[in-house]
Amino acid sequence: MARRALITGITGQDGSYLAEHLLGEGYEVWGLARGQANPRVSRMRKLLADVRVVRGDLLDQGSLISAVERVQPDEVYNLGAISFVPMSWEQAELTAEVTGMGVLRMLEAIRVCSGVSRPSSRGGGASGQIRFYQASSSEMFGQVSETPQTESTSFHPRSPYGVAKAYGHFLTQNYRESYGMFAVSGILFNHESPRRGAEFVTRKVSLGVARVKLGMADELRLGNLEARRDWGFAGDYVRAMHLMLRADRPEDYVIGTGRMKSVRELVEAAFAAAGLDWERYVVTDQALHRPAEVDLLCADPKKARVQLGWEPTVSFDELVAMMVESDIRLLSDGGDPDQDSSWP
């Protein structure tokens, strides 16, 4: 009998890649969606025709319990969140409810449906229980205390998003330690793809380059070019999620490439992929800087490499070229990046 997986955030970048990966592994995949008429669900179905959809909302405890009872999953991947960091200042309360409290509600749904009524001293990983993956974030490190960052690096989040992710991360640890649940967090560093939302800086750059290349724009406005990040390919990172839930013991892992690149280097690589000189087109705009900037993030993925056997397969330059080429094709064909039409 095929293993069953329930994915929140199924219509996002990571949800789509994870669903593809799990389907390829022979899973029966279910996606949690707030409404069957959701246009993002219909677009997702074009890509992932074999994914089943169950109604549920991270803001509604009862709906999550009903979804878990209906699906009876072996594994739950909680990827649902308000994930655009700048938006978290504009919608701080909603970010806390979805990105933070949503983790609590899903853990509670799993606990209730698993019949766990009281805390236990047992270690996580009992046979037959639902395994839970929480999508934690490098944004929890924020103002970093050391570089590179490991599983033991302290958190100092610099946005409501980072704070909400830290809450969900610690809560996942707490349910693992208190209830004996197989609950893990993947502390994922920046991971991108042609399916990335148009509001994120990597996609803003690849779309901007495509517009310049096609004569649709003559400049690209950006904020802080000196911020440095550890960027990898989303398709690689979802493999790590699956490996975490198939491991013998529930543990948290940092997932990244271990290499930092600045936004300036991202811009240089993107324009070079299109045969253009970035300095002719890029304009810096102070208004686009974050209220509290995170200057640098760099992963130390040694634990995942040693214990899970995980390695990234797509280089930074390959990733950037992939995104630029995809957006040139998208805009050439009259596609709308705001409607996720970059998906194949």
Enumerate the active-site residues.
137, 139, 161
Instruction: Transcribe 242-290 into DSSP letters.
Output: HHHHHSSS---EEES-S--EEHHHHHHHHHHHTT--GGGTEEE-GGGS-
Peptide bond into 250 cis (omega under 30): no
> 279 is written with which tokens?
């300095």
Name every residue whose Cβ is closer than 8 Å to that of residue 70 and which is 6 or more positions away in sequence.
Answer: 54
Angle at 260 between CA 259 and CA 264, to 5 degrees: 140
In angstroms, rounded to a whole number, what is the distance separating the alpha carbons of residues 189 and 181? 25
Are the CB atoms for 197 and 13 separated by under 8 Å?
Answer: yes
Name the amino acid, one letter, at 335.
Answer: G
Are the CB atoms for 256 and 232 separated by under 8 Å?
Answer: yes
In angstroms, rounded to a whole number, what is the distance separating the alpha carbons of residues 308 and 251? 11
Residues of the chain by 3-state class (helix, strand, coil), percent to 5: 45, 15, 40
Pairing state between β 75-78 and 4-8? parallel
User: How distant, in Å, are the alpha carbons of 11, 82, 206, 324 from that of 203?
Assistant: 17, 17, 5, 9
In angstroms, rounded to a whole number, what is the distance separating the alpha carbons of residues 344 and 171? 36
User: How distant, in Å, are the alpha carbons of 117, 198, 214 from that of 331?
Assistant: 54, 13, 8
> 253 is written with which tokens?
């892992």
